[in-house]
Structure 1
Amino acid sequence: MAQRRGRHAYGDGIDRFGGIDAVVNNAGFGLFGIFEGASREKIQEQFDVNVFGVMDVTRAILAHFRARRSGTIVNVSSGAGVFGLPMISLYNASKFALEGFSESLSYELASQGITVKIVEPGGVLDTKFGARSSDEFGNASVPAGYEDFVVATGKVFEGLRASRHASSEDVAKVIFEATTDGTDRLRYVATEDIQPLVRARRESSEEAYMGLMRERFRN
């Protein structure tokens, strides 16, 4: 269904402008809560939007890009595609999948003159993403025994939210840069709030990183 709609939209764009230069996959939402309390239906929805939708939209444009021997695909990931956090295991899983898909795809499509980019934002102030996640959490069950952990983890997330200063315009500028800079750079970290955790994940040892995270989320 999404792929058919994508082909229709692409056809309209090609008819109007003569061709398409770039595609930005930005749709996404985040489930928040204990994994054990999530339904199979919600898990499917998380992956339908954040992973399978991206794949469908991407597949629909590839014949056009290959014929032109050019094109850029920008997939908007998240800090949650770099480092794992409790209470967002399903969102993490979808964004880790998106990162792996995008990196692997970039090697395939380079042979066709097509570039793949990943943009990794953290918290953004002026979107409804957080409100949607809060609504999802409110509708999810908390299995017995997790209550203290949920309260303690919620306090950590309050601190993380307090460090957010980026706007959707800030992220849009990074998406524009990724789309137009003419390089084969794969990843772009889009907001300052996630930089410390990104550096810890990518630049420190596994032991140091896991020690940091376990200490932060110890109940």
Structure 2
Amino acid sequence: MSKTILITGASSGIGRATAKLFAEKGWNVAATMRSPEEEKELKELPNLRLYTLDVTKKEHLKKILPEVEKDFSSIDVLFNNAGYGAVGAFEKSSEEQVLHQFQVNVFGVMDLTREFIPYFKKRGEGMIINTSSVVGRFTIPLYSLYCSSKWALEGFTEALQFELKQFNIKVKMIEPAAIKTDFHGRSLKVFENDAVKGYNKMEKNILSGMRKRNEKAPGPEVVAKTVFKAATDGSQKLRYPTGKGAGAVLFARKILPTSWFNKLVFKQQSR
């Protein structure tokens, strides 16, 4: 019997690539997104169905599990992938922007996970995979909101693994480095506040550099393969760094004094 994975944020980037790969591997795929009626390619894939899900809407979160279970009988893996980047000098951000960053990247993950835990406990098994980032373990300038949301997700996921192991529910997270997606396109929200001065040069240099590195980065298919490995390797491994340089930068973060590491990060980001 084919296994089933539910993927949030499947309309583009990592979510889309992961949906395609799992379908190719013979899995049943519940690909969720805010506007499935606009999706053309994914709906043609075998064993894949589209569902409406905005992770900030409680009514969507409450009904998605029974909808998918009705179509596929059971769900084996929840892949919490939906997210975006709110970027710019923190001083320019509004309370609403801060809240929305966390509503999508953190609270949406928590709320959907809360729906799935009783379901997986009843089944006697299950797996939860969250999309974090390498910047869930260090920071970069102008990404204070995005980094802090991923740091929160790292802490949540690590603690959850302790809690759910006793129920045979595996908890894992994917930590991508730079990946060539639309993260620096429609998924990037740059703060605009003309009343706040002093950051223009930094924003121009760093955001330009990030876009250039993003263009040279590997595609989301690299991350999709890592998600498939996490879902099928049978291990209790928690973290899966992926993408060019992910392992190296996290190793450097581990062994270098914070002041040294931060100097390297700022130098790299300011090129």
TM-score where L is the length of structure 1 = 0.88
1:199 has 2:251 as partner: yes
Higher strand content, 1 or 2: 2
> Contact (CA 8 Å) 1:120, 1:188: kept in 2 or not?
yes
Residue 209 (structure 1) aligns with: 261
CA contact (8 A) 1:83 1:197 kept: no
Q: Write out per-residue CA displacement over residues 69-123 of structure 1, whole angstroms, 9 at most, x where no aligned residue.
A: 2100000111221210001110001011001100011100112111100001122
Is 1:181 matched up with 2:233? Answer: yes
Question: What do the CA deviations read for 1:105-149 (whole angstroms, capped 9, x no partner)?
Answer: 110011211110000112222x32210255x22x51262122333
Q: Which has the higher contact order (CA 8 A, sep 6+)?
A: 1
Q: Distance in 2 between matches of 1:141 and 1:207?
A: 30
2:198 aligns with 145
Residue 68 of structure 2: aligned partner: 13
Whose helix fraction is larger, Structure 1's or Structure 2's? 1
Q: Distance in 1 between matches of 2:268 and 2:222?
A: 28
Aligned residue pair count: 215
Q: Which residue identity is paired with 1:167?
A: G
- C-alpha distance 185-30 of structure 1, shift in aligned 2 (>3 A): same
SS in structure 1 opposite 2:167? coil
Aligned position for 2:80:
25
Tell me the residue number matched to 2:182: 128
Deviates more, 1:142-151 or 1:34-43: 142-151
* Kept in 1: contact 2:184–2:214 (CA 8 A): no
Cα distance in 2 for partners of 1:118, 1:199 equals: 17
Identity, % of aligned positions = 35
- Aligned pairs for 1:11-160 (under 5 A) are 11-125=66-180, 127-134=181-188, 136-137=189-190, 140-141=192-193, 143-154=196-207, 156-157=209-210, 160=213
In structure 1, stretches of 5+ residues that fail to align are none
- Report the Cα distance in structure 2 between the residues aligned to 1:95 and 1:58, rounded to whole angstroms: 16
- Residues 140-186 of structure 1: CA distance to partner in whole angstroms, max 9, x if unpaired? 1262122333334345435643541x212221111111111111000
Separation of aligned partners in 2, 1:52 and 1:197: 27
Counterpart of 1:157, as a letter, is M
Deviation by residue 1:7-60 (Cα, 9 ceiling, x = unmatched): 322112223333211100010000111100011111111000000000011001
| Distance verdict in 2 for CA 1:185–1:192, change over 3 Å | same
CA contact (8 A) 1:30 1:132 kept: no
Distance 1:207 1:37 in 2: 26
C-alpha distance in structure 1 between counterparts of 2:177 and 2:213, whole Å = 10
Give the TM-score, by structure 2 length. Answer: 0.72
Cα 1:155/1:14, change in 2 over 3 Å: closer
Q: Distance in 1 between matches of 2:207 and 2:174?
A: 26
Residue pair 1:79, 1:121 contacting (<8 A) in 2 also: yes
